[in-house]
């Protein structure tokens, strides 16, 4: 009788211990997943910020270059010399 009761208690303890281990594994996995997700979002935000700054710098440079070309084209008056415009645009493209 005592032996049967001992095995029954052992089954209960083993079952409860198994459930605790499974719950711990699930909670640990969930927490690790949340941390990894947070890290990836931070990295993505950093990459997006760097990309936006690079694009902004490029577009600002492009805008300034085109502004300089437009000023150089209108220096001679209201008429535009197409040969000079071609040379200026060619220089701008090469730069």
pLDDT digits (tens, 9 = 90+) for 26-72: 999 999 999 999 999 999 999 999 999 999 999 999 999 999 988 88
HEC secondary structure over the chain: CHHHHHHHHHHHHHHHHHHHHHHHHHHHHHHHHHHHHHHHHHHHHHHHHHHHHHHHHHHHHHHHHHHHHHHHHCCCCCCCCHHHHHHHHHHHHHC
d(C-alpha 8, C-alpha 19), whole Å: 17
pLDDT, residue 59, reads 97
Q: How confident is the model at residue 75, as a pLDDT?
A: 80
pLDDT at 78 over 80: no
Q: What is the pLDDT of residue 7?
A: 83
pTM for the model = 0.61
**73 close to 80: Cβ distance less than 8 angstroms:** yes
| Domain residue limits, the chain | 2-94
Neighbouring residues of 80: CB distance < 8 A, sequence distance ≥ 6: 73, 74
Task: Write out the two tokens for 65.
Answer: 């270059």
Percent of the chain scoring above 70 in pLDDT: 98
């Amino acid at each position: 009788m005592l032996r049967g009761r001992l095995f029954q208690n052992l089954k209960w303890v083993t079952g409860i211990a198994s459930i605790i281990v499974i719950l711990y594994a699930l909670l640990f996995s969930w927490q690790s997943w949340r941390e990894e997700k947070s890290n990836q979002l931070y990295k993505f935000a950093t990459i997006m910020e760097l990309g936006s700054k690079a694009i902004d710098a490029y577009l600002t440079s492009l805008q300034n270059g085109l502004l300089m070309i437009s000023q150089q084209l209108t220096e001679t008056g209201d008429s535009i010399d197409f040969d000079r415009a071609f040379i200026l645009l060619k220089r701008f493209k090469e730069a």
